[in-house]
Chain A
């Protein structure tokens, strides 16, 4: 089990924190999501836990033992996928993975197998400089699996991918979870968080506002909603009302009575709507 307690980080070494008093725990084999808008501090948190940024304040334990980044053995156990595709552009996809696999003291996956998993077997011998953005993204993702990590850090693993490729990546993540891999995933995409994560932490301006399962969040905050598009003095207005809330129901009634409705549908609250309720801002 991973336990993080009172994590802070300031890039400017003052009280301007990119991550502020973050505490959470992740059970073994769980997918834990950091959901938040751009600049919320998701990548900063991941960089601290992967030793790329100095742990300025806070504790990080795995199964009760403090993580010592100086002992390189920790890095045999983790796999890291970056938000920016940081591969050697002058090397082929295969060469990139082969180089990387040589750095581990543990048994590593066959690079060609990994490329096949992410649909890059055809491009294995091509230089990474000739890869598209999505292909680079997949290469970085494949690289993060090379040492069969116990803990997997995925920073925006599906951003910029087409739906088919994205679902392929999501399937791999689900399969890894079934094999017992613990996943720390950051995203600003509520669908990913909803679909993949066992637990989601809402992070905004460096602070975690709430941590729960997507299901519980919806039960707690996401009462039935009705979205109405209506004309108000020739202007088209879009609004969402909760049918549980007395005041909102009255307002909705007024609009219906005026009869200026363009479209109207009911829906379950999305994680984004809940995010807005909890943090006061959206994910974009």
Chain B
């Protein structure tokens, strides 16, 4: 244990002298500023709705819509309505002809589905207004604590995945390569210290860095609403995985340039799931099987809890297993290319 604390102390001194650490910290701070001050909370593009009533009763209906907090704009003539809509590509319009008939004015690019949906919606509102019937809406996600995640906060999980799984992986790999190039790993290999302790020290180092960056980013962006126990668990196992892969990679080569192609491939594979995060429909099974995919959603769940904690448990188990397996392989392999 005495030996291990010396190893860790050495690694801490080395990392404090590594410019890579400062790049990482700089990114974390840059990211925090970006989320809090640059990216808007809501970037969904609102569709404008233009309405024209051609009969007296219709204006009451429009007032009712407005009470429902619908952002609609009332106009005075068909010409005016057409003019506004031509200038605003992302808009729809409807004209209340009389209490039997409603005319829709569409841009022409809307598909059948959208049209039907629109028709149904407005029909609903009419009925609601005239008959005062309650229309009950049932959402599939039944939990009523579901809140809408502001857009700027919704990218925090991506950053948290990048930290241990991507940046940390390379940080650890560069540290091992630097020990190989300086030959210090050879000096260590002729002491009674074991290679496994050498490797585990790097893992612990990455866990410490992962925690620092996690708390820094999570506290300043999401605040205290997040579940920090879960966050810590994902970061812990994610760091074990990240360092395991980094150590395994560096055990195969004697310098970083020989390993470059693999570093790039691993980086690309691990960041593929980011695409699915923004386009949830794009998630083929292959991408779902990449561990950063489930890490992403586990972080999301821990940051914005919905009660679906099974994804967190599964992710921790998955990344922990990958981490341990890669570490065991790294330990078997590292002596081959000191």
Binding site for B on A (CB under 8 A): 50-52, 72-73, 75-76, 78, 80, 82, 84, 86-91, 95, 98-100, 102-105, 140, 143, 147
Contacts and interface: CB of A to CB of B under 8 A. Distances in A.
Contacts of A75: 190-192
B147 to A, nearest CB: 47
Given A73-B192, A89-B182, A143 B187 contact: yes
Given A99-B6, A103-B3, A88 B190 contact: no
A91 B191 contact: no
A86 to B, nearest CB: 3
Nearest to B15: A90
Given A91-B10, A99-B10, A102-B2, A86 B187 contact: yes
Q: Secondary structure at chain A's binding surface: helix, strand, loop or mixed?
A: loop
B183 A86 contact: yes
Contacts of B190: 50-52, 75, 78, 80
27 contacts: A50-B190, A51-B189, A51-B190, A52-B189, A52-B338, A75-B190, A75-B191, A78-B190, A80-B190, A82-B187, A86-B183, A86-B186, A87-B182, A88-B182, A88-B184, A90-B13, A90-B17, A90-B18, A99-B7, A102-B2, A102-B3, A102-B5, A103-B7, A103-B191, A103-B192, A140-B187, A147-B191
Most buried by B among A75, A82, A99, A103: A103
B9 interface: yes
Contacts of B10: 88, 91, 95, 99
B14 A88 contact: yes
A90 B6 contact: no
Most buried by B among A72, A82, A87, A99: A99
B2 A76 contact: no
A82 B182 contact: no
Nearest to B10: A99
A143 B187 CA distance: 9
B40 interface: no
B92 to A, nearest CB: 64
Given A88-B14, A88-B184, A91-B10, 7 more contacts: A52-B189, A72-B192, A82-B186, A89-B182, A90-B17, A102-B5, A102-B7
Contact of B14 (A78, A82, A91): A91
Given A51-B190, A100-B191, A105-B192, A87 B14 contact: no
Contact of A87 (B13, B184, B192, B194): B184
Contacts of A88: 10, 14, 182, 184
A104 B183 contact: no
A80 B184 CA distance: 12
Contacts of A105: 192
Nearest to B179: A88
Interface in B10-32: 10, 13-14, 17-18
The 7 closest A-B pairs by CB, nearest first: A86-B183, A102-B6, A103-B191, A72-B192, A90-B17, A103-B193, A80-B190
B255 to A, nearest CB: 15
